[in-house]
Copies of this chain bind each other. A is one copy, B any other.
């Protein structure tokens, strides 16, 4: 693979860093994550090198709204895994996460034992300006940690919306946090949340309303008692595996757990539930199915980006500007304009293959 114009990097130097990272060198791991975060040819080169070593870690997404206590819970989960002797990677996608250094003093003090543990690797992803690319960069950062041998990788992300779904697509197990709420608020809980959740946690269970919230969530699960993961099948390429056990084994009903991250209660039960989910997924063949689905989605995304990059390569800034001007002036609608632009891009037939596909 040749480097793309304008990108310079020392390929042999990177190979050395990859070797060190695979040996567990923390500085090398940090550097590789920075490289994959930035994208481009160097990132693709790193990914190609680390990829054969991936696929061993358990990727656990922890998602919830700001203020739901994600970071504190992730902290407690990390400590619980450490007590099992496991090394833990943490990728924080929330810019307000204490792991990102942005948040409140009290939280940072609480995190200190985790932050200074040499068997825990913490990395926060820069979110600013990386819309769309963020889920990609996060997945690639988790891959680096996976290849480096971390058996458990916790991915902390802000709840609700697209990012939740994207994280759920590459995590093996997605934990969705809720907080105790009044009756009205519980009813307003986003229905979509049940589709991405493998495990639902009512955090801050020391507050009033925790039992109510848990009961309401169970009731919602009763209403939605179809196998939740099936909803994700937009890129489903494989048939569901022929059950080698009973067919009910394929139905995973997300358990609703109560935790108080502050008091540390409920965390061992959560760790057990995560393990049970992982085993269920593997037993039922759903993890394989989900992996194929995720991979196909990723392929589509990489190809779209590459194709657009190539096309834009054949269009001048003036041509694009002109199309924008016509659309803004309502002289042409965006779909027709896109059609015209694509035809323009193909007029000059010097079909150079751009390798810029990330």
Fill in one digit per residue for A67-106: 1 if any B CB lies within 8 Å of its CB, else 0.
1000000000000000000000000001110000011101
Closest CB in chain B relative to A84 CB, distance in Å: 26
Chain B contacts of A162 at CB under 8 A? 131-132, 161-163, 166
In the bound complex, do residue A67 and residue B185 qualify as a contact, i.e. CB atoms below 8 Å apart? yes
Smallest CB-CB separation from A335: which chain B residue? B44
Interface size on A, residues (CB 8 A): 85
Question: A357 is contacted by which of B158, B159, B191, B338 (Cβ under 8 Å)?
Answer: B338
In the bound complex, do residue A299 and residue B341 qualify as a contact, i.e. CB atoms below 8 Å apart? yes
A302 at the B interface (CB under 8 A): yes
> A211-239: which residues lie under 8 A (CB-CB) from chain B?
231, 234, 237-238
Chain B contacts of A117 at CB under 8 A? none
> A295-329: which residues lie under 8 A (CB-CB) from chain B?
295-296, 298-300, 302-308, 311-312, 317, 320-321, 323-325, 327-328
In the bound complex, do residue B328 and residue A299 qualify as a contact, i.e. CB atoms below 8 Å apart? no
Bound: A321/B295 CA distance, A: 10
Chain B contacts of A331 at CB under 8 A? 52
Closest CB in chain B relative to A289 CB, distance in Å: 10
Bound: A339/B338 CA distance, A: 24
Give the one of A104, A165, A291, A327 with max B CB within 10 A: A327
In the bound complex, do residue A307 and residue B299 qualify as a contact, i.e. CB atoms below 8 Å apart? no
Smallest CB-CB separation from A338: which chain B residue? B302
A-B contact pairs, 9 of them (CB 8 A): A44-B335, A51-B333, A158-B192, A161-B161, A162-B166, A292-B324, A295-B324, A298-B334, A304-B308
The 10 closest A-B pairs by CB, nearest first: A161-B161, A162-B162, A51-B333, A307-B307, A67-B185, A302-B338, A160-B160, A304-B304, A66-B188, A44-B335
